[in-house]
Structure 1
């Protein structure tokens, strides 16, 4: 613990030396819906925390709904006295915030690694899965890809407007993959990429996607799953901030336009043993087939994680590369689980089902749980789409059905934790019911 504290203290002091104008640091963590919560600390108080001082926040901050409200979930929130829970600083995440009007820093915090971790904290759920895999000699290497839309900063009666082309000032309303779109929006995209790099995120490929104002940014492969998910979470925060600075609004909303493709979170995962051998490539790739079968088996029971809100279910089917059934295939972007072409050393799965606004810690935890289950069960997968375009297994396409499919599934409860599954499912159920309580104008037009 002393070495840990001295490392953190050195990180804070180095940051203060390099950024003497920063007076405050945001200590942040991701809640269940995927929003950051936390506190703004004076930088001198951060030194005390880094040296081993207490860092406590309400336990139930993790349980907030999408709109920030509290739901009654078991005894949490209303019958537990709203207790504090210990958090710790995540080493290596103290970075400057460049998109605010005043100098600021930010640093991730978490309950995982404390004496009493919060069982339903997303980062803790992933940490447990990774720890279990490591004990089995399985070491994942992970890379995220995130799609997002740029909109004009101003909404039109609450509706998004196309991003304005900075060269012509016209709306970017022509969806295409042309490289010139990257050039036209290069100022904001370059700033997003550089800001992400300043946060320690390894940005690689930038693509202009099919939708108007839609882009995709890929991250480098990491042998630290927690850090890979940290990158995805932090990228969303910095990208929104940079977009506002440039007069845009960036959103990872799953389906902002019905007529254009939705935004996804694609996750590449390969598995290695302690000697660095690719486990999926062994025995003529038989473990790969088992892993795919496990992923597909658990996929219908993890839909509230992959599609975490009402809008995310709109993304599934009807547009390019968005499946409505659990499927797999080699080099097939219509599949939920795609096997990209690669050499045996880099053999991996690409899980393509999750929406861009899903919680990256939970998405990765669910994918790894599926892979682990597959390697244990050693079942053959269904026919790949390459051989049968109709192949696939049904999964829920509505939130309440998805919650029912997840909550009592024994493997999901075992792999992700029964307490987490109960809390998460009730959070999603209550969020969905709260969303349904508003009568919109269309409903009056149809039924008044």
Structure 2
């Protein structure tokens, strides 16, 4: 078996052989708000890193706010000297970038698996959850679905404009699910799909959604939870780039139009033992009920993860399939936790609450912790929506309430890490307060 360094070095050298025109590679990782940060490396320096040279970036880059600013969080950022922290290259993620004006490559980096992982790095949080489940003999299989909107490339006084139909030139302002919309926007959608596959992402179904210019992309089921979340993160990056190349803006913003559906991140999760048996199907699906109960119990305390910004809370309870209470149901898209119809081998939950701009590593980590908690406590869930349309558990509908509900929840502090919970909650609190520090024109119209 090759050593990690030998395998990485072979990956870099093979890439250079296939893409001799590429001189620089973006080394990227996802921060807490779900944005990529990193450095652009000359490819010969990347080869040295692959061979074992240290790769260091500021630890506090993970803590950046939604607008890139640093907040004082405990001793981080302003009282710690802004130290560097080791990162490592993620094998198998060195791919060409086709949407930039010059030939580039990109590769994921992470602190998980290093000598001193960053406790609040999103990928490290998920890695710890997956490792704990693995020690318990629980092996998740995961698939993400992401909704997004296409807008015209030009904004109108800062406001998004409907994407132009490539055939008619008119604004695509009619909400519908018609298959013809896939044909009309096929040039950009096909390029998005092709580019995603070039990045190693297993995309499957493409759907025209209800909103004008809204689409959904499904990813294949994967037994590597980290890779499944990597795919979701990388797809957002490549899709935005491809859209700009075609004269559009692609956005995963949760609620860009008040009058049209928001965009969600749906996550399918099944759990297997070492022999490949579906744990959720055990004991005539009793384990499924326990897992659902755990998800619903913790859901109100995970809202800063599922709805990570002010706009994401606008999506809840609005128009189509966006709940305001924690609920579940069989084949019911109004439920936060939906149980799709399937045979016992493929029995799974579909978690539908998270917004499309949530951090995929943290969303998956929170869902898995809920499932784990449910299997441990073995409680019965509330009635499904199929039996009682009023069934549900209230959850916070405003960020500061959500942060308070999350920060002192003992199960989350134990299973996601107390340091992560404290850092994440303070990051969200500070981001929300910073967002409020601007007077909107509406305030002058109403109160001046």
What does residue 234 of structure 1 align with? Answer: 234
Q: Structure 1: which 5+ residue stretches go unaligned?
A: none
**1:90-144 Cα shifts (integer Å, max 9, x gaps):** 0000000000000000000000000000000000000000000000000000000
The Cα shift of 1:47 comes to 0.3
Q: In structure 1, the residue corresponding to 2:269 is in which secondary structure?
A: strand
Aligned counterparts of 1:284 and 1:235: Cα–Cα separation in 2 = 37
Aligned counterparts of 1:252 and 1:167: Cα–Cα separation in 2 = 24
Aligned counterparts of 1:149 and 1:318: Cα–Cα separation in 2 = 17
Aligned counterparts of 1:206 and 1:220: Cα–Cα separation in 2 = 12
**1:349-408 Cα shifts (integer Å, max 9, x gaps):** 000000000000000000000000000000000000000000000000000000000000
The Cα shift of 1:147 comes to 0.1
Q: In structure 1, the residue corresponding to 2:375 is in which secondary structure?
A: helix
**1:5-36 Cα shifts (integer Å, max 9, x gaps):** 00000000000000000000000000000000
The Cα shift of 1:346 comes to 0.0
**1:48-87 Cα shifts (integer Å, max 9, x gaps):** 0000001000000000000000000000000000000000
What does residue 192 of structure 1 align with? Answer: 192
**1:303-328 Cα shifts (integer Å, max 9, x gaps):** 00000000000000021000000000
User: Where has structure 1 moved over 3 Å in runs of 4 or more?
Assistant: none
What does residue 263 of structure 2 align with? Answer: 263
Aligned counterparts of 2:23 and 2:90: Cα–Cα separation in 1 = 20
What does residue 380 of structure 2 align with? Answer: 380
Aligned counterparts of 1:393 and 1:304: Cα–Cα separation in 2 = 16
Q: In structure 1, the residue corresponding to 2:444 is in which secondary structure?
A: helix
Q: How many residues align?
A: 448
The Cα shift of 1:2 comes to 7.0
Q: In structure 2, the residue corresponding to 1:259 is in which secondary structure?
A: coil
What does residue 167 of structure 1 align with? Answer: 167
**1:270-318 Cα shifts (integer Å, max 9, x gaps):** 0000000000001000000000000000000000000000000000002
The CA RMSD over aligned residues, in Å, is 0.7
The Cα shift of 1:161 comes to 0.1
Q: In structure 2, the residue corresponding to 1:145 is in which secondary structure?
A: strand
Aligned counterparts of 1:67 and 1:232: Cα–Cα separation in 2 = 21
The Cα shift of 1:44 comes to 0.3
Aligned counterparts of 2:66 and 2:327: Cα–Cα separation in 1 = 30
Q: In structure 2, the residue corresponding to 1:66 is in which secondary structure?
A: coil
Q: In structure 1, the residue corresponding to 2:323 is in which secondary structure?
A: coil
Q: In structure 1, the residue corresponding to 2:3 is in which secondary structure?
A: helix
Aligned counterparts of 1:176 and 1:410: Cα–Cα separation in 2 = 44
What does residue 149 of structure 1 align with? Answer: 149
Aligned counterparts of 2:427 and 2:207: Cα–Cα separation in 1 = 34
Aligned counterparts of 1:85 and 1:65: Cα–Cα separation in 2 = 19
What does residue 179 of structure 2 align with? Answer: 179
Aligned counterparts of 2:195 and 2:169: Cα–Cα separation in 1 = 25
Q: In structure 2, the residue corresponding to 1:87 is in which secondary structure?
A: strand
TM-score (normalised: structure 1): 1.00
**1:173-204 Cα shifts (integer Å, max 9, x gaps):** 00100000000000000000000000000010
Aligned counterparts of 1:284 and 1:2: Cα–Cα separation in 2 = 44
